[in-house]
Amino acid sequence: MLSLASLRARWAALVGSFVAVALGVGVVAVMGLGVAATLDPPGREPERFASSPVVVAGIDTLTVEVERGSGTARVSKKLARPHPVDERLLAQLRKLGPVRTDDTAARDAVGVDAPVADVRAVVGDRARVLTGDDRRRVDPSYERDAEALVAVNSLLGTAAGVTAFVSVFVTASTFAFVVALRRREFGLLRMAGATPGQVRRLLLGEALAVGVAASAAGCALGTWGAPVLIGELVAGGVAPSWFALPDSVVWPYHVAFWTGVSVAFAGAWVAARRAGRIGPVEALREASVDTAVLPRSRRVIGVALLAAGLGLLAWRWGTDPAELLKRKTYTTQPMLLITAVAALAPLLVRPLVRLIGAALPGAVGLLVRENAATSVRRTAAVAAPVLVTVALAGSLLGSSATVAGAKAAEAEARTRADFVVTGPEGRLGEWAGRRHGSGGAFGTGAGGATTGASGVTAGARGVVDPGTSVVSASASTAVYVKEERTALVRSDARAVTDVAAFAAVSRLPVVAGDVRDLDDRSIVVNEEWERPEVGRSVRVWLGDGRPVRLRIVAVLARGTGDNGAYVTAANAGGAGVDRVEIRVWGGADREAVGAALRESGADGRVWAAGEWLEANRPKGGAQTRLGLFVVLGIALLYAGIALAGTLLMATSARGAELRSLRLAGATRGQVRVVVAGEALVAMAVGAVLGAAVSAVNLAGLAGALGLLGAPVGIWWGAF
């Protein structure tokens, strides 16, 4: 009853906490409903072979045995080049019934009108037999939709995690300030005979009441907001057009509600412990100067968190620097340092206020500076939401842009080409064949001879002067390797036709060996591979699943992760040409070469090298951009709520102080300037601390880029 009476009397002081928890629960409910939609997507009918009861598709996965504990297990990876349905199998299927084919993906699947048992008996293990909803696996949109659902799931999960963090942060900060403002009240209760436990239960009861009411309101808000979010995801192209909320799902509401109650209770727990330690003498205090603002326990926790944050950064430097380049890492990494700096903020407030306030002129400036420096708790409470906003914005936007910039600089450094021709592998190969009279596909023909290995190169040379230009054709593929006998790892790769030409148009970050030694029995790898040693023989599987043993002739820096493997056309795994790079020598007329290429009738696009690099510059996908905006929007919203609530509480508790200023001769305008100035100084303190946290995170990212041999450059635009 005492808690409820206190809530009625002090509702204004808890409005900020109520709104913060309600919005947090609403966001968690919305994100949970979105995650539920990704886990249980609506059923869809097959599109490509909707009229066929059975679909036969080529093998599209590589399956190998790896060691797991004391036994073995079979693991699979998606092949870069799925197998087609061969002519022999097609002829056998036609004996069972009508067979439907189309022009998609070079006949990687066919529809069959025949009993499924008969089809399985004929196919055996040479292909996949799909029925029912599984027929959608050969639809052109299947892989794209599956990847989109994974991205949406990751986005919403990350946003929900950040919401919980910021909600706890704001709620804990608010309750801590409430305790600081109510010292005399709690002292009177202690003088009246209340025990420390009763004071703690009073505050926790208030938090529980706020948490339950706010969580219920948040769930109602989530019911309204989830369809809006789903609509925005679909409209923005992040989620498939058919993406929708499930008909009936309740677990997101349970998760959101109990998360809200737990957040409110946890946020008040530390403040309640502090309230229980307030003695009766506090009721006699009149001075507003804060003393003992950083208890030993908080100091120990702050130092421990700071050491943990910096130690984790150093540990990742020493073990896996590439981990710091991942979005999930640079989204969550700042949270530890933000919490540490917020815990230690009272130690930093006074020197920062003196430094920032030194520029404030006159008596009003002096009063603003001294008030902000002596009221440490109030200044720290106002600075906390600004700290979390600036730190998250600087760390997330800065890290994302720094990684993208490093990838772009890495791509620019890898090429010496003046022009790049890109296009679908079939069409680009046909262009080469028309120019040269041969096919443009990679692979091995009868007897292992390479087919079409020089088609594109000669086709381009039919346009440009071979005496003044060098032409290199390549195809996108992949290789697979078993690492430590426990994992099957895929590495993106490029297959090149002419190694000498490729070396002339490329500038790879080689740390050992020589790319020019590449041949049909060798491979170029990067430092990410297990034991990347020149001369070592490794067993790999090619893009079509064919196993080969290749010798390492060169090792590249690991970089940002885009320095993949390189093989020759013989090991392309059936991939076709999708890129032709042309370098013009010496004083040759580059404009004339470009014009000749564009007029050659190439079934692709002719780019100047700079245009191609800019078009392929990593800018972050729609999911990444939306994820960052969601996270930062949440932080900004909470910052505004926390600032408004803290300033409301602080101003309502300063009535006597402000009346004293008026009695001393200050005008109403001067009083307003003092209050606003103190708020601005506190916000500046939060901005400085947030910028410091961001600088540490970005410096750690820059160190990781240096360790990986990638271009190092920090993007400071977030500040």
Domain limit, last residue, from 138, 160, 195: 138
- For residue 211, which of 275, 270, 278, 269 has the smallest C-alpha distance? 269
One domain for residues 648 and 626: yes
One domain for residues 305 and 391: yes
Residue 540 inside a domain? The answer is yes
Question: Which parts of the chain sit beneath pLDDT 50?
Answer: 286-287, 433, 435-458
One domain for residues 585 and 515: yes
The CB density around residue 624, as the number of other CB atoms within 10 Å, is 18
Residue 330 inside a domain? The answer is yes
Alpha helices in 236-250 (DSSP H): none
Is 29 in contact with 219 (CB distance < 8 Å)? yes
Residue-level pLDDT at 180: 67
One domain for residues 302 and 240: no
Give the range of the structural domain holding residue 332, as residue numbers without chain letter: 298-407+618-719
One domain for residues 204 and 160: yes
d(CA 657, CA 667): 14
Residue 562 inside a domain? The answer is yes
Instruction: Tell the residue number behind the tokens 């073995």, with chain if given.
Output: 72
Burial per residue of 331-353, b for 16 or more beta-carbon CB atoms within 10 angstroms, e otherwise? bebbbbbbbbbbbbbbebbbebb
Whether the CA torsion 351, 353, 358, 363 is positive or negative: it is negative
Instruction: Tell the residue number behind the tokens 């491979």, with chain if given.
Output: 523
Domain limit, last residue, from 138, 167, 192: 138
Residue 412 inside a domain? The answer is no
One domain for residues 627 and 669: yes
The DSSP line for 433-484 is HHHHSS--B-SB-GGGPBSSTTHHHHHHHTTS-TTTEEEEEEEEEEEEEEET
Instruction: Tell the residue number behind the tokens 């620097």, with chain if given.
Output: 321
Is 322 in contact with 361 (CB distance < 8 Å)? no
One domain for residues 186 and 226: yes
Residue 129 inside a domain? The answer is yes
One domain for residues 530 and 455: yes
Tokens encoding 513: 């060996």
One domain for residues 476 and 534: yes
One domain for residues 333 and 308: yes
**Which amino acid, one-letter code, is at 80?**
A
Residue 392 inside a domain? The answer is yes
Which residues have a Cβ under 8 Å from the Cβ of 51 and sit 6 or more positions away?
100, 111
Helix (H, G, I), strand (E, B) or coil at 342: helix
pLDDT digits (tens, 9 = 90+) for 611-638: 888 888 765 555 566 666 776 777 777 6
The DSSP line for 23-75 is HHHHHHHHHHHHHHHHHSPPP---STTTT-SEEEE---EEEEEEEETTEEEEE
Residue 527 inside a domain? The answer is yes
Residue 291 inside a domain? The answer is no
One domain for residues 10 and 112: no
Instruction: Tell the residue number behind the tokens 């790999």, with chain if given.
Output: 540
Convert 487-556 into a string of H (helix), E (strand) and C (coil): EEEEEEEEEECCHHHHHHHECCCEEEECHHHCCCCEEEEECCCCCCCCCCEEEEECCCCCEEEEEEEEEE
Counted domains in the chain: 4
One domain for residues 477 and 338: no
Domain limit, last residue, from 138, 153, 169: 138
d(CA 34, CA 688): 36
